[in-house]
A and B are shown apart, each in its own frame.
Chain A
Amino acid sequence: MKPRKGTRAAAAVIAILALSATACSTKEKDKDPAPNGSGNAGQLKTGAGVSDTEIKVGELSDLSGPFAPLGKSVTNAEALYYEQLNAAGGVCNRQVKVEVKDHGYDPQKAGTAYTELSGKVVGISQLVGSAIVTQLKDQIEKDGILTLPQAWPSTLLGKKVIQVTATTYDVEIINGISYLAKNVGLVSGDKVGHIFSDDEFGANSNAGAKYAAQQAGFSLVEQKIKPTDADMTAAISAMKSAGVKAIIVSASPRQVGPIMGGTETAGFKVPVLAHSVGFHPQLLALVGAPMEARLYVASPVPSINTDMPLLTKLVADYKAKYPDQPIDQGVLSGYTTAAMFGEALKAACKAGDLTPAGVMAAHRAQTSLDLGYGAKLDFSSPDKPPTYQTYILRVDKTVPSGLKTVEQAFESPGARTYTLPKPS
């Protein structure tokens, strides 16, 4: 294209446009909201997301993608917590307001949704999806806002702003294997199978399983599967011919169901250990009998249907607010995560600093937080999970969540001797 007359005319137009534009840009830089007056609340320091009447908390969930079941339960439960918190007077005489964004497990949508939260909220009390957290973690660190992900791989450790809320997958499986060894009678030299999905969750859990097996003298028979696979028959054949005494599964309910069903049809009725994220109550209708007989679930929290004051109240309140929604472990996870964030806000208020940095500092200063379900949480080290404890749950068809607690919080000897993957 050769320059023509029209180009010159255009250039003139442009020059004018450019001048007028630069002179009157209306863009408000939402990243630095004017620090709010410290007048009303005495010495209280405030920053992004906090006004005189309101504290804004962000949530970045998956409400339309593959993790929508978890996302929905967690979002509902968090809403319930904040509603109760507000009814009790809020924090620092301010009402907590939640801003929920849906990313549908799409990194691109997560990226843009995050820009709508960063700079406008005091912290993020829900971030669903391991891959999404990984995608955003550098930016979250740079922005310095406390974020509580709904994913527990130990690769998320090591950043001050990201608080893994419970026992990591690798530690969880170490505890689970030690329970299994004791209770179904595995001895040194036995073969134990590990079926794990080809993603961060599976890989992290596999690191723990390797360590636990080596400590106990088991030989680990590994089988990697694609997260989208549903046909487990070949994997089961491999386990069966290797002669494993138990199978550990680090995968989603989509695979746990077929593994329970497949081992049953193959007449290969060994105990199976899964993570709580691998269980869903709807599996009961499909493979209830084998699950009742030989599924063990390792979980960072007790069954929501355990007889504890906090939990019975939670179940009743949740039912009242969301009568049509299922009660699953996601409800408990969401509620306790929101409570964790609420405690951080309260502590920050007490310390007189409700800026994002203040909330994070207050949160990290808590070394023995008890949310009412048993575990004591220590948030002081970004390199460690807040607890090393695990509950063992088993199937109980009579309760809504389908799970009952059979072993209260415990920590196996291997949990602390295991070296967590060095954070980056």
Chain B
Amino acid sequence: MSEPEPKPGAALRPAAPGPAKSSVLNLRVAAAVIAVVVMALMPYYLTDFWLLTGLFAMAAALGAIGLNILSGTTGQLSLGHAFFLAVGAYGYMYFSGDSGRSGTHDISGLGLPPFIALILAVLLAGAVGGLFSPISGRLRGMYLGIATLALVFIGEHVMINAHSVTGGYNGRAAEPMEFFGFTLADEDPYLEVAGVEFAKYERLWYLALALLVIGIIVARNLLRGRPGRALGAVRDSEIAAAVMGVPVARFRSMAFVVSSMYAGLAGVILALVFGRMIPEYFGLALSIDYLAMIVIGGLGSVGGAVAGAVFVTVLPQLFAHYAASLPLVVESGGDGVGPTEAARYLYGAAIVLVLLFSPGGLAGLVRRVRTPRTTPRTPARSRSAHSKEPQGAAS
């Protein structure tokens, strides 16, 4: 177990951007707004393949932000993130779906309006995360990590056997999202904007983008405010945090709830995008993907989580798409290193290299490029200043 080192202060330093910061902040806001607008224009240019990849990446980004709050900021290792995504996805399908048949089984549903179902599914995921708090409150470090591993396996078993809710192996179709008669699907109503047909993926793009923007803003505010500092203190030293009056147990389980809600939201988006979810999707590999995202992106950083999610989601697609024009990579089915393998190598290597040479992940790299004067403002930043970096990283 990591030995608790009392090092108070740093993590709790109040976020007080000096007056000199405001212009920097202005610039950042402007950059963010431009980024959002560029994203909003994407459906005019991207083909279905890239739209779908982008949708997966946005869903993954939301999930990664959630896991980052839990593992990056609070330091609770979770291998069970896939389970909470599943809760969100199946929760949405259950709340919005009608009772009927899927394959050989009867399935039930509440038939609620999709938007209400989305909110309920996110709340449900949070509640399930809260139910895990007797375990998350008691276990530390690796014990918690392996206990969450159990969630994935037990969850898979439940998903396969709870036919009436999940549809079993066959999965279950998801109702399309709908706002006052406007459906986020190919038809109903037919929509064309500036000569481009707005079908399912184009429409979902804006929903996902809006949710992602909200998710990022909420997470940033959360982490910069009191809760974020408290969570960082819990990670650095529970005892020190407790001494300073942070209710440790409550914050630990709060992190679990918030993280599960993000995962649930990601699950709902995935269900909408896929149109049908099967239990096989939510395996251990998915949990590990999310861990990889936050590590590659940079533990504790919201922007890093998003970057990591994009990296992990888009990389295999790039390889698959451009396999023919890459040197050393043979097309699928041939002998030698195929695109899938090449993507796996790069993915594994990225994790290892990032941790060895830039433990702050992509976010840490960006930070290092910038002026070193910037004093740590968020608890996330304080960590890299305090944890010993490997010798190799300094050069």
Residues of A within 8 A of B (CB): 1, 4-7, 9-11, 13-14, 17-18, 21-23, 25-31, 61, 63-65, 71-72, 75-76, 100-102, 104, 107-109, 111-113, 115-116, 118-119, 130-131, 134-135, 137-139, 142, 155, 198-200, 203, 207, 421-424
**CA A195 – CA B382 in complex, angstroms?**
56
Taken residue by residue from 163 to 182, chain B's Cβ proximity to chain A (1 for < 8 Å, 0 otherwise) reads as: 00000111101000000000
B49 close to A10 (CB less than 8 A): no
Which one, B37, B169, B197, contacts A17 given CB within 8 A? B37
Q: B104, A10: Cβ atoms under 8 Å?
A: no
**Which chain A positions have C-beta within 8 A of B101?**
422, 424
CA distance A65 to B339 in the complex (A): 12
Cβ distance A113 to chain B, nearest Cβ, rounded Å: 7
Complex Cα distance, B170 from A423, in Å, reads 11
| Given A108-B281, A131-B169, A155-B104, 6 new contacts (CB under 8 A) | A23-B194, A25-B195, A29-B196, A109-B320, A131-B280, A424-B102
Q: Which residues of B contact A72 (CB under 8 A)?
A: 333
Decide if B34 touches A10 in the complex (CB within 8 Å): yes
In the complex formed, the residue of A with least CB distance to B23 is A6
For B10-38 the 0/1 string (1 means CB < 8 A from A) is 00000000000010011101110110011
Shortest beta-carbon distance from A137 to chain B in Å:
8
Contact A1-B30, Cβ < 8 Å, known A100-B332, A200-B169: no
Q: How far apart are A241's CB and chain B's nearest CB, in angstroms?
A: 25
Question: Which of A100, A142, A200, A422 has the largest count of B CB atoms less than 10 A from its CB?
Answer: A200
CB-nearest residue of chain A relative to B340? A64
Q: Which of A7, A22, A108, A115 is in CB contact (< 8 Å) with B29?
A: A7
Set of chain B residues within 8 Å of A11, measured between Cβ atoms: 33
Q: Judging by beta carbons under 8 Å apart, are B41 and A75 in contact? A: no
Answer yes or no: B341 CB below 8 A from chain A CBs. Answer: yes
Contact of A25 with B29 in the complex, beta carbons under 8 Å: no
Indicate if B48 sits at the interface (CB-CB under 8 A). yes
14 pairs of residues in contact across A and B, judged by CB atoms under 8 Å: A10-B33, A17-B37, A17-B38, A17-B41, A27-B196, A71-B333, A112-B53, A112-B317, A115-B47, A131-B169, A135-B276, A138-B173, A138-B275, A200-B169
Whether, in the assembled complex, B103 has its beta carbon less than 8 Å from a beta carbon of chain A, the answer is: yes
| Interface residues as binary, B42-61 with A (CB distance below 8 Å gives 1, 0 otherwise) | 00111111011100100000
In the assembled complex, the CB of A378 is this many whole angstroms from the nearest CB of chain B, namely 23
Main secondary structure of the interface of B (DSSP, over half): helix
For residue B278, which residues in chain A have a CB less than 8 angstroms away from its CB?
107, 131, 134-135
Q: Which of A27, A107, A113, A135 contacts B46 (CB 8 A)?
A: A27
Q: Is the CB of B197 within 8 A of A116?
A: no
CB-defined interface of B336-353 with A at 8 Å, one 1/0 digit per residue?
A: 001111000000000000
Determine how close the nearest CB of chain A comes to the CB of B105; give it in whole angstroms.
9
CB distance from B10 to the nearest CB of A (A): 25
> Hey, which chain A residues are within 8 Å of B333, CB to CB?
61, 63, 71-72, 75-76, 100, 102
A25-B56 contact given A6-B27, A18-B37, A131-B278, CB 8 Å threshold: no
In this complex, how many residues of chain B approach chain A with their Cβ under 8 Å: the count is: 60
Docked-complex contact B104 and A104, CB < 8 angstroms: no
Q: Specify which chain A residues have a CB less than 8 angstroms from the CB of B160 in the assembled complex.
A: 198-199
CB-CB < 8 A to B321: which residues of A?
Answer: 116
Considering the chains assembled together, what is the distance between the CA atoms of A31 and B202 in angstroms?
Answer: 13
| Chain B residues whose CB sits within 8 angstroms of the CB of A138 once the complex forms | 173, 275-276
Is the CB–CB distance between A27 and B49 below 8 Å? no
Closest 7 CB pairs of A and B: A6-B26, A102-B332, A64-B340, A6-B30, A421-B104, A115-B48, A25-B44
CB distance from A317 to the nearest CB of B (A): 18
The residues in B between 358 and 392 inclusive whose CB is less than 8 angstroms from any CB of A are none
Contacts of A102 in B (CB 8 A): 320, 332-333, 338-340
What residues of B have a CB within 8 angstroms of the CB of A203 in the complex?
168-169
Query: Cβ of A6 and Cβ of B340 under 8 Å apart?
Result: no
Bound CA span A115–B37, Å: 25
A207 and B169 form a contact (CB under 8 A) = no
Q: How far does the Cβ of A189 sit from chain B's closest Cβ, in whole Å?
A: 29
- B247 → chain A closest CB, angstroms: 28
CB distance from B155 to the nearest CB of A (A): 14
A1 in contact with B332 (CB, 8 Å): no
A167 to chain B, nearest CB (A): 18
**What residues on B are CB-neighbors of A7 within 8 Å?**
26, 29-30, 33
* Contact assessment for B320 and A27 in the assembled complex, using a CB-CB cutoff below 8 Å: no
Q: How far is the CA of A112 from the CA of B270 in the complex (A)?
A: 13
Q: B193 near A: Cβ within 8 Å?
A: yes
Which of A9, A100, A111, A130 is most buried by chain B, counting CB atoms within 10 A of its CB? A111
B186 and A63 form a contact (CB under 8 A): no
Contact A18 B49 (CB under 8 A): no
Specify the chain B residue showing the minimal Cβ separation from A201.
Answer: B169
**Which residues of B have CB within 8 Å of A134?**
169-171, 276, 278
Q: Give every chain A residue within 8 A of B53 (Cβ-Cβ).
A: 112
Cβ of A112 and Cβ of B49 under 8 Å apart? yes
Docked-complex contact B316 and A109, CB < 8 angstroms: yes
Instruction: Tell me the nearest residue of chain A to B104, going by C-beta.
Output: A421
Contacting residues, chain A, for B207 (C-beta < 8 A): none
Specify the chain B residue showing the minimal Cβ separation from A17.
B37
User: Across the interface, which residues of A come within 8 angstroms of B316, CB to CB?
Assistant: 109
Interface: B274 (CB within 8 A)? yes
Q: Assess whether B275 is in contact with A139, with CB atoms less than 8 Å apart.
A: yes
Inside 8 A of B102's CB, which chain A residues have their CB?
Answer: 424
Contact of B52 among A26, A115, A422 (CB under 8 A): A115
> How long is the Cα–Cα vector from A27 to B199 in the complex, in angstroms?
13
Q: With the chains together, A171 CA to B205 CA distance in Å?
A: 44
Q: Which residues of B contact A207 (CB under 8 A)?
A: 104
Question: B342 CB to closest chain A CB, in angstroms?
Answer: 10
Q: B29 near A18 (CB under 8 angstroms)?
A: no
Nearest Cβ on chain B to A13's Cβ, whole angstroms: 6
What chain B residues lie within 8 Å of A29 (beta carbons)? Answer: 196-197
Measured CB to CB, the nearest residue on chain A to B26 is: A6
* A113-B29 contact in complex given A22-B44, A200-B170, C-beta closer than 8 Å: no
Let me know if A135 and B171 touch, CB within 8 A: yes
Query: How many angstroms between the C-alpha atoms of A206 and B280 in the bound complex?
Result: 20
Roughly how many angstroms separate A10 CA and B196 CA in the complex, as a whole number?
25
A115 to B47: give the CA distance in the assembly, Å: 9
Q: Are A14 and B338 closer than 8 Å at their CB atoms?
A: no
Q: Which residue of chain B has its CB nearest to the CB of A154?
A: B104
Any A CB within 8 A of the CB of B217: yes
Smallest Cβ distance from B395 to chain A, in angstroms? 36
Inter-chain CA distance A139–B173, complex, in Å, is 11
| Distance of A80 from chain B, by nearest CB (Å) | 13
| B5 vs chain A, min Cβ distance (A) | 34
Q: Which of B264-321 contact A (CB under 8 A)?
A: 273-276, 278, 280-281, 313, 316-317, 320-321
Which of A4, A13, A100 lies at the interface centre, i.e. has the most chain B CB atoms within 10 A of its CB?
A: A4
